Chains A and B, each alone.
Chain A
Amino acid sequence: MKHTISILVENKFGVLTRIAGLFSAKGYNIESISVGPTEDPTISRMTIVTNGDDDQIEQIIKQLNKLIDILKVVDLTNEPFVERELALIKVKVNSYTRSDVIEISDIFRAKVVDIGPTTLTVEVTGRSDKITAMINMLAPYGIVELARTGVVALKREFKGEVYDSKEIKAIKRKAKQAQKNTTSNDEKTK
């Protein structure tokens, strides 16, 4: 199963190798890895997407936690999280296909960031699967070059109100009642 792991690390040289080395030493593949400084310049956030069964992921997280330069490891997979990836895609175009490519880009809310006589470069952000979908759509035109950043992710902060199960039932009941009322009102107006 695919797991997205968010790691806070000391912003020091060699930390990335330590983490990548841990994965390779255990024979686990990293699907994507992205890293950059956080609001605290001494700390960097690393987002790693990897595959593995529950036991493997448990081992990965335990082993990561053992590294001295790692401050925090969170497996985001089983909780709500925001995930984004950025890609730059350079597509082959000619006067006939240029507008098609721009149209596709619009649908994916991508931005054209560079244009040449035979190519068009678009910038797209979103979930990894959205980016893959866009790449698949553009592939028939001919992709000249492609750069993906890998996933960055953050845990979602819950902003709503908290209800217990009784309250939820009551809300549902009220909603049903309201719906009934509107339908009967509609019937009345008819």
Chain B
Amino acid sequence: MEKAKHNLNKDFYGKNLSGIEIFVRSLIEENVEVVFGCPGNAVLGIFDALMEIAGNSIKIIFSRHEAGAVLSASGYARATGKPGVLIVSSGPGASNVVTGIADANMDSIPLVVFTAQVPTKLIGNETFQEVDIVGITRPITKHNFLVTKISELMETIKSAFYIATTGRPGPVLVDLPRDVMSEKFIFNYPDSVNLRGYNPVYSAHAGQIKRAAEIINNSSRPVIIAGGGVIASNASGELRELVRKINAPITTTLMGQGTYPEDDPLSLGMLGMHGTWYANMAVNESDCIIAIGSRFDERITGDTTKFAPNAKKIHIDIDPASISKNVKVDVPIVGDVKDALKKLIPLVKTLNTEEWLQKIKKWKIEHPIKYQQSKEIKVQYVIEKLRELTGGNAILVTDVGQFQMWTAQFFKFLYPRTHITSGGLGTMGFSLPASIGVATAVKDRPVISLNGNRGVQMNIQEIATISAYNLPIKILIFNDGHIDITRQWQELHWKRTFDEILIDKACPDFMKIAEAYGIQSFRVETTYDVEPILKKALALRDKPVIIEFKTAYEENVYPYIPPGGSVKDIIEH
């Protein structure tokens, strides 16, 4: 019985413990370091026990809103690769985390969400603060559980962590009725899981790898597309090795940024709707696409019938359902990206891509990503300055909007897990809470939260959390008086009826907000002031700072491929 895997638990194996204590000791067994959450009536006992038992070994971050807490857990998971752990109360506490779970599900982020539930006898009775969270989150979780018996608790927690972090990672929810948590059971945390319906394939098929290698070896215009799966599999090193061995240009999706240094001559930057002209053109003219850990989202393909029409397509993905879902591929390779690349690299030869690379080099000179500098602050300029001042050694947590795309275009990411962003769901209000999770985990790099004037208001209460824990996050707010990217779409696709999206009039004074939360702040109104203020803010290493930039009024993100369009519809400027 005595297994003593964890020192803190060594005296408790085989002992009769309450559900709450079993829960906390299970988190200790799972080596959880940080727990995010919000206190609430139904979870007070859990938090109490957590502080008492796990005290120094598990840090608790209390958010101001569950919607923020779940995104903080997501930010933590995105920055570390470890599962983000969240504990919230029943009813509204649980229903408030829905958006964050959907967000993690779209981006394959490992989350383990614990929700409190009313006692089992009262489930279904419209009890006070009851909600069927397992039912609500069924389509947006990788899996979810309702624990109905204390005897299932440990096995369920073990399974939840296992499912969240293996295969294609994703969010798992565990609903914990109050009576189950107060019952007693013998503590004996399992070593392994028993899930006969869940066997993710890690090992890539050798035959398919061989077929892929043949296609690559016969190509003269290869292009590699790297997605978030490369980051999830920690395969950035292998990816770099492959790129250098075959001399192929590489483009990434938004989620794949940082898997390959974007200042390298072989990097094409990001592709897709707001990707570089040359990345989209290279994909279009390629004879061999090697898509790695990317699901061919419509934001990168546009019209799938016109996507890379002349290329043989190789697709490596751990999720078999992702293969040929959007784009039909010639060689599917199901398995872990790292394993597949390790097997593929020895089989490919150094290609003679000189002619192809020369062509791309010419494109880069003829069609660079650029913007018009002006007295009015351009976000692109701020991003370039950030890159310069941090040497690319910062973690940028972007919200959703034009500045997100400009960050993707102009920051030139060097390392994986340095662009933390909501890719699949496009969750506004993501950045502030996510940056809390990132700053909790990362101490050696500046954490910069980039926001628009609307997104920052969607989880503005989390400034209080940042202030309370004195997390040294640099909060940038780009205020163009509009809902930026919505305005761009209004301009390009609709009738420029901007009334609904002009939020200048009711926009709060962010300096006063900063003051109210007790955070130092700066307002920057001219291009001239951008650099000195950024320097000043970055120098305040151990404090949070809010900087508001009054940016150019009607600036658009280019290049731009309209939705459902193809590379032929690209608007450059």
Give A residues with C-beta under 8 Å from B. 9-10, 14, 17-18, 21-22, 25, 55, 58-59, 62-63, 65-71
Q: State the Cβ distance, B151 to closest chain A Cβ, in Å.
A: 15
How far, in angstroms, from A22 to B142 measured CA to CA in the complex? Answer: 12
Q: Check if B135 is an interface residue, CB within 8 A of chain A.
A: yes
Asked if A67 meets B324 with Cβ closer than 8 Å, knowing A18-B138, A21-B138, A25-B139, the reply is no
CB under 8 Å from chain A, chain B span 304-351: 319-321, 324-325
Q: Check if B195 is an interface residue, CB within 8 A of chain A.
A: yes
Asked if A17 meets B320 with Cβ closer than 8 Å, knowing A68-B197, A70-B197, the reply is no
Contacts of A58 in B (CB 8 A): 324
Complex contact B319–A66 (CB within 8 A): yes
How far, in angstroms, from A14 to B136 measured CA to CA in the complex? Answer: 12
Give B residues with C-beta under 8 Å from A. 134-135, 138-139, 142-143, 146, 163, 195-198, 319-321, 324-325
Complex contact A65–B320 (CB within 8 A): yes
How far, in angstroms, from A58 to B197 measured CA to CA in the complex? Answer: 19
Contacts of A71 in B (CB 8 A): 196-197
- 29 A–B pairs (Cβ distance < 8 Å), ordered by A: A9-B197, A10-B196, A10-B197, A14-B134, A14-B138, A17-B135, A18-B138, A21-B138, A21-B139, A22-B139, A25-B139, A55-B324, A58-B324, A59-B321, A62-B320, A62-B321, A62-B325, A65-B320, A65-B321, A66-B319, A66-B321, A67-B197, A68-B142, A68-B163, A68-B195, A68-B197, A68-B198, A70-B197, A71-B196
Complex contact A17–B138 (CB within 8 A): yes
How far, in angstroms, from A68 to B167 measured CA to CA in the complex? Answer: 12
How far, in angstroms, from A70 to B321 measured CA to CA in the complex? Answer: 15
Contacts of A55 in B (CB 8 A): 324
Q: State the Cβ distance, A54 to closest chain B Cβ, in Å.
A: 11
How far, in angstroms, from A151 to B324 measured CA to CA in the complex? Answer: 30
How far, in angstroms, from A62 to B321 measured CA to CA in the complex? Answer: 5
Complex contact A59–B319 (CB within 8 A): no
Complex contact B143–A68 (CB within 8 A): yes
Q: State the Cβ distance, A73 to closest chain B Cβ, in Å.
A: 10
Q: State the Cβ distance, A46 to closest chain B Cβ, in Å.
A: 13
Complex contact B321–A63 (CB within 8 A): yes
Contacts of A59 in B (CB 8 A): 321, 325
Q: State the Cβ distance, A67 to closest chain B Cβ, in Å.
A: 7
Contacts of A18 in B (CB 8 A): 138
* Other A-B pairs, 5, CB within 8 Å; known A21-B138, A21-B139: A17-B138, A18-B138, A22-B139, A59-B321, A68-B143
Most chain A beta-carbon contacts within 10 A, residue among B142, B146, B197, B321: B197
Q: State the Cβ distance, B262 to closest chain A Cβ, in Å.
A: 33
Contacts of B143 in A (CB 8 A): 67-68
How far, in angstroms, from A16 to B297 measured CA to CA in the complex? Answer: 29
How far, in angstroms, from A21 to B138 measured CA to CA in the complex? Answer: 8
Q: State the Cβ distance, A35 to closest chain B Cβ, in Å.
A: 16
How far, in angstroms, from A68 to B164 measured CA to CA in the complex? Answer: 11
Closest to B172 in A: A68
Contacts of B320 in A (CB 8 A): 62, 65
Contacts of B325 in A (CB 8 A): 59, 62
How far, in angstroms, from A63 to B197 measured CA to CA in the complex? Answer: 13
How far, in angstroms, from A63 to B168 measured CA to CA in the complex? Answer: 13
Contacts of A25 in B (CB 8 A): 139
How far, in angstroms, from A71 to B197 measured CA to CA in the complex? Answer: 4
Contacts of A9 in B (CB 8 A): 197
Q: State the Cβ distance, A75 to closest chain B Cβ, in Å.
A: 15
Contacts of A63 in B (CB 8 A): 321
Closest to A43 in B: B196
How far, in angstroms, from A22 to B140 measured CA to CA in the complex? Answer: 11
Asked if A69 meets B197 with Cβ closer than 8 Å, knowing A18-B138, A21-B139, the reply is yes
How far, in angstroms, from A65 to B142 measured CA to CA in the complex? Answer: 12
How far, in angstroms, from A95 to B365 measured CA to CA in the complex? Answer: 93
Closest to B323 in A: A62
Contacts of B195 in A (CB 8 A): 68
Contacts of A69 in B (CB 8 A): 197
How far, in angstroms, from A22 to B138 measured CA to CA in the complex? Answer: 9
How far, in angstroms, from A21 to B196 measured CA to CA in the complex? Answer: 22
How far, in angstroms, from A65 to B200 measured CA to CA in the complex? Answer: 10
How far, in angstroms, from A17 to B196 measured CA to CA in the complex? Answer: 20
Q: State the Cβ distance, B524 to closest chain A Cβ, in Å.
A: 45
Closest to B321 in A: A62
How far, in angstroms, from A66 to B169 measured CA to CA in the complex? Answer: 12
Closest to B140 in A: A25
Contacts of A70 in B (CB 8 A): 197
How far, in angstroms, from A96 to B358 measured CA to CA in the complex? Answer: 91
Q: State the Cβ distance, B226 to closest chain A Cβ, in Å.
A: 23
Contacts of B196 in A (CB 8 A): 10, 71
How far, in angstroms, from A167 to B320 measured CA to CA in the complex? Answer: 40
How far, in angstroms, from A125 to B389 measured CA to CA in the complex? Answer: 77
How far, in angstroms, from A171 to B320 measured CA to CA in the complex? Answer: 44
Q: State the Cβ distance, A30 to closest chain B Cβ, in Å.
A: 16
* 8 cross-chain pairs, A with B, having the tightest CB-CB distances, nearest first: A62-B321, A68-B143, A71-B197, A68-B198, A70-B197, A25-B139, A63-B321, A68-B197
How far, in angstroms, from A71 to B325 measured CA to CA in the complex? Answer: 22
Q: State the Cβ distance, B545 to closest chain A Cβ, in Å.
A: 43
Q: State the Cβ distance, B157 to closest chain A Cβ, in Å.
A: 15
Q: State the Cβ distance, A29 to closest chain B Cβ, in Å.
A: 17
Q: State the Cβ distance, B325 to closest chain A Cβ, in Å.
A: 6
How far, in angstroms, from A106 to B134 measured CA to CA in the complex? Answer: 49
How far, in angstroms, from A19 to B198 measured CA to CA in the complex? Answer: 15
Q: State the Cβ distance, A60 to closest chain B Cβ, in Å.
A: 10
Contacts of A14 in B (CB 8 A): 134, 138, 146
Contacts of B321 in A (CB 8 A): 59, 62-63, 65-66
Q: State the Cβ distance, B222 to closest chain A Cβ, in Å.
A: 27
How far, in angstroms, from A67 to B319 measured CA to CA in the complex? Answer: 12
Contacts of B163 in A (CB 8 A): 68
Closest to B324 in A: A58
Closest to B134 in A: A14
